[in-house]
């Protein structure tokens, strides 16, 4: 399954090579042209019936992760997080580190050894280490080095009925959608499928990509927060798992084009595609960079609702994933009606 393979790729923010290589192999037969820029963004171009307008679909390849900042005398790895990760989800989680994909575990001293104050307070990143089984710094340096990246080590698998659990659904789910939609034929307009880098560090790759392409309209495919878990007030749920693709109205970085968003919502309903609105303005995605590029871009964002975002194990609904895919296809194939 495409989503499983993409989820399990090693691709922390700033180190997207493995993800990019995998995608290139999968989409090459459907591309009229491909290129990779200096930032590492991958552009997959398909010629449309008209060049009057240019479409851009974007999904980011990077995931949240870690970077090794020091190696202690007794062989532990100090690290910094790359992207927004809650330190409370890190303790005892499996990770892989560096080019050799060294297995490790995020270590904290056992509860039996903690003081009363330590047990009361949330763990901080600075108090954690990655244990790779080394006894000394020299032993650790034989397989890792300062500056190496690390990611969670989580398999993607079925979870309950019609759901998937895995890492990096933000935004490998979006990448999987693009890998499917790129197969569409007879596109009305020239279209770029853009797999961007460094979204988790400030939407950096998308800024370069949009200024290169100068699209008329763009659709960002994302994974977004889904907090419909026990004891969360309905007003804070953001999205509902199984409720369909989530269209954004606004977030901390972007304001989706109202007309385009409403048309996509209506078109989804007309075609029997499950759809919902994202119900908060928290977070952000590549649209913030894309819509402000050039002379401005008509833009919208559609997301796969994702429980436990930016954690070692996220959960999505296969129904929601398919709904996002169908809306992305509508954007491409019926663009004349939308923009």
Q: Which residues have a catalytic role annotated? A: 199
Tell which phi-psi region holds residue 156, choosing left (phi > 0), alpha (psi between -120 and 50) or beta.
Answer: beta
Cα–Cα separations (whole angstroms), residue 289 to 126, 141, 241 = 31, 39, 28
- Alpha helix ranges (H) inside 193-233: 204-213
**124 Cβ neighbours under 8 A, 6+ residues apart:** 87
Distance, in Å, from the CA atom of 14 to the CA atom of 300, rounded to the nearest integer, reads 25
Q: Exposure string (b/e) for 304-336, b if CB count within 10 Å is 16 or more?
A: bbbbbbbbbbbbbbbebbbbbbbbbbbbbbebe
Beta-bridge partner residues of 59: 195
String of DSSP letters for 68-89 = EEEE-TTS-EEEEEES---GGG
**232 Cβ neighbours under 8 A, 6+ residues apart:** none
Distance, in Å, from the CA atom of 150 to the CA atom of 61, rounded to the nearest integer, reads 15
Tokens of 339: 């923009």
């Amino acid at each position: 399954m495409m989503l499983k393979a993409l989820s399990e790729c090693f691709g922390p923010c700033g180190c997207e090579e493995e993800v990019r290589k995998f995608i290139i192999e999968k989409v090459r037969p459907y591309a009229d042209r491909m290129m990779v820029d200096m930032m590492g963004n991958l552009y997959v171009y398909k010629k449309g019936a008209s060049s009057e307008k240019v479409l851009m679909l974007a999904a980011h390849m990077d995931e949240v992760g870690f970077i090794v900042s020091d190696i202690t005398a007794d062989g532990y790895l100090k690290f910094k997080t790359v992207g927004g990760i809650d330190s409370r989800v890190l303790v005892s989680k499996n990770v892989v580190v560096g080019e050799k994909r060294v297995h490790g575990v995020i270590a904290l001293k056992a509860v039996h050894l903690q003081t009363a104050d330590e047990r009361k307070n949330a763990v901080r990143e600075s108090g954690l280490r990655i244990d790779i089984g080394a006894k000394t710094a020299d032993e650790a340096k034989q397989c890792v080095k300062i500056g190496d990246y690390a990611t969670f080590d989580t398999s993607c698998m079925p979870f309950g009925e019609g759901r998937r659990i895995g890492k990096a659904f933000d935004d490998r789910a979006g990448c999987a959608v693009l890998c499917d939609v790129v197969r569409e034929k007879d596109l009305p307009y020239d279209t770029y499928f853009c797999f961007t880098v460094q979204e988790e560090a400030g939407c950096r790759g998308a800024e370069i990509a949009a200024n290169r392409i100068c699209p008329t309209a763009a659709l960002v495919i994302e994974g977004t927060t889904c907090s419909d878990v026990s004891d969360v007030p309905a007003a804070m749920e953001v999205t509902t798992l199984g409720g369909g693709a989530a269209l954004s109205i606004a977030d901390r970085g972007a304001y989706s084009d109202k007309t385009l968003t409403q048309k996509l919502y209506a078109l989804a309903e007309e075609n029997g595609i499950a759809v919902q609105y994202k119900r908060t303005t928290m977070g952000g995605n590549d649209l913030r960079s894309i819509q402000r590029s050039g002379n401005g871009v008509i833009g919208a964002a559609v997301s796969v609702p994702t429980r436990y975002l930016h954690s070692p194990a996220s959960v999505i609904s296969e129904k929601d994933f398919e709904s996002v895919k169908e809306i992305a296809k509508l954007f491409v194939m019926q663009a004349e009606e939308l923009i």
